[in-house]
Amino acid sequence: MSDSIFKAIADANRRKILQILKQQQSLSAGEIATYFEFSKASLSEHLKILRNANLIFAKKSGQYIYYSLNTSVFEDILTWVLNLRKSEES
């Protein structure tokens, strides 16, 4: 489990981005920006951190980049948490 995942989900704004992408499937940065009041530069940094942690995918389509969740990473996190709990019960 990468430390970058924990860093990424430690921030409330990044957790909100993940929640939005869960609900909307795929959005451009401009569409994501409508949910926030911070600068586009800040949003870009949040998206970069989420991409580096492999929590989201970025796919270029025309002049836009669309972001979506990488659900396999969330499955890995859930498996890790469940295994951690099992080891505590032993």
Q: How far apart are CA 45 and CA 40, in angstroms?
A: 9
In a 10 Å sphere around its CB, with 0-12 CB exposed, 13-18 middle and 19+ buried, how is residue 8 labelled? buried
| Domain edges within the chain | 3-89
Banded model confidence at residue 82, pLDDT cuts 50, 70, 90: confident
Give tens-digit pLDDT for 5-56: 889 999 999 999 999 999 998 999 999 999 999 999 999 999 999 999 999 9
Residue 48 φ then ψ, to 5°: -60, -45
* Domain at 3-89: CATH architecture: Orthogonal Bundle (1.10)
Concatenated DSSP letters of 30-57: HHHHTT--S-HHHHHHHHHHHHHTTSEE
Cα 64 to its chain centre, rounded Å, is 18
Residue among 14, 16, 20 nearest 49 (CA): 14
Q: Decide: pTM greater than 0.85.
A: no
- Tokens of residue 56, six digits: 């989201």
pLDDT tens sequence across 43-80: 999 999 999 999 999 999 999 999 999 988 777 777 87
